[in-house]
Structure 1
């Protein structure tokens, strides 16, 4: 089956409705007591369990699960109508993403950890991908600011339905990172190198943002240009999963911003081996030059 532009538009509208309804629900639960549990990483009876090696990847709440139910209420009818597969964080991977030409990729509450702490940086993230891992539709809803971001391949990227224009600040370079990376043994040296790079390309002020989930971290790269956000390759399970990066990959591609792995290759958004991204790492950058600089960091660490 080949999806036509008008079909992509319809599916994007459905994803927007799903993300918006889920996002508004999440906002009603913000700063309130919620039940928090930890996922387990590994496999069970051949099924991948989604918990990674970091706290951020292991935390799940009743809000994650209800958000997923709201989203699936919108998306489930499209599975038969458009012959789509489905991959969503809080359900077992049924591998329909390999059997179908296209599949939904859903993170019902990306940034669960900041959500439980009452901090900004969480979002709803929904993408439509081909079974080769190309993101055709990307939708992100920020419940804190009630901001909607969406993109459709070859149709542009939008914030609250207005076309996004990326503006570079005159003197500030933003270093956006996961809080877990701060404990990395090479973090101080890496941060120092990022600062050196910043000065070398003509920026005098350094801003660090380290409290968001993957979806909002990528959005903040876009909104705080020049900026970067990356996750180093590592042996342990983690580094985010497909659902953490699929929607923002579509948005970045439509804006001409740089998103890749540490080899400079496109992200593997439908690997048969794992949903995790730890083997190859992830880089979001406001330009190709900055991405190239980040790729070289793996030589030293």
Structure 2
């Protein structure tokens, strides 16, 4: 069971561009081992490859028909700070990068979300469909802490205020407290909403941060693409990072189109 208190030991990894990608706790390793104990028989029986955050990428995902893509504890920063916003994320991904199965567990709320390609999405075993977007109120913008790096809050949020105005909404509500997995699920839970990561030189989250939620979004009919509207590159050959094309999760197509247009205009 995932601990709900702050960890006793925190290590630092020499990778990634943000603090969130550089910290590791004993719970990350314990969670990974529990997951692998359950998945190892499927790896052996079906010839699946494995990609997990806490182990080196052995390249097997580029050869096998499918691979397990695991983040044993996404949102390590909120976890070590004793705040909600962390989750366990497990996905089965095809060699072509298609998310086939997605499983997310939120230990704080004891909520399990899962999706199977072509079957549907489920929350605690109950079919989950996309919630309708409100016609008024606020646009919720989910973001990582690094969203504000190098710019003030007003400048970062300004493009989304323009989008909100175009959509007849009265404000933008910024939420930059959770990890990538819970940010994405937040989009589905509070429409109209989005979670955006622009392309950048390095970092940008990793395959395991987005694979499971991408499957959920596909099954509920919401948007999970790169910043230009192409499918997420969930089996990138040259890296496990997603910085090259960015990430866009949106609660509906109209919002996604506006974000892409304004992002292209800013380049």
TM range (shorter): over 0.9
Q: Give the Cα–Cα distance (whole angstroms) in 2 for the partners of residues 186 and 230 of structure 1.
A: 17
Aligned to 2:72: 108
Q: Give the Cα–Cα distance (whole angstroms) in 2 for the partners of residues 184 and 194 of structure 1.
A: 18
Tell me the CA shift for residue 33 of structure 1: 3.8
Matched, 1:213 2:179: yes
Tell me the CA shift for residue 284 of structure 1: 0.3
2:78 touches 2:178 (CA, 8 Å); kept in 1? yes
Matched, 1:30 2:16: no
Q: Give the Cα–Cα distance (whole angstroms) in 2 for the partners of residues 171 and 144 of structure 1.
A: 27
Aligned to 2:266: 300
SS, match of residue 273 in structure 1? coil
Aligned to 1:285: 250
Matched, 1:85 2:52: no
TM-score between the two structures when normalised by the length of structure 2: 0.95
Q: Give the Cα–Cα distance (whole angstroms) in 1 for the partners of residues 61 and 7 of structure 2.
A: 35
Of residues 177-186 and 134-143 in structure 1, the stretch that sits farther from structure 2 once superposed is 177-186
Aligned residues: 264
Of residues 132-141 and 91-100 in structure 1, the stretch that sits farther from structure 2 once superposed is 91-100
Q: Give the Cα–Cα distance (whole angstroms) in 2 for the partners of residues 298 and 240 of structure 1.
A: 21
2:7 touches 2:27 (CA, 8 Å); kept in 1? no
Tell me the CA shift for residue 187 of structure 1: 5.2
SS, match of residue 32 in structure 2? helix
Root-mean-square deviation (CA, aligned residues, Å) is: 1.4
Q: 1:226 aligns with which of 192, 211, 217?
A: 192
1:232 touches 1:298 (CA, 8 Å); kept in 2? no
Aligned to 1:242: 207
Q: 2:158 aligns with which of 170, 176, 192?
A: 192
Tell me the CA shift for residue 200 of structure 1: 1.7
Aligned to 2:101: 137
Tell me the CA shift for residue 86 of structure 1: 0.5
Matched, 1:255 2:220: yes
Matched, 1:153 2:117: yes
Larger helix share, 1 or 2: 1
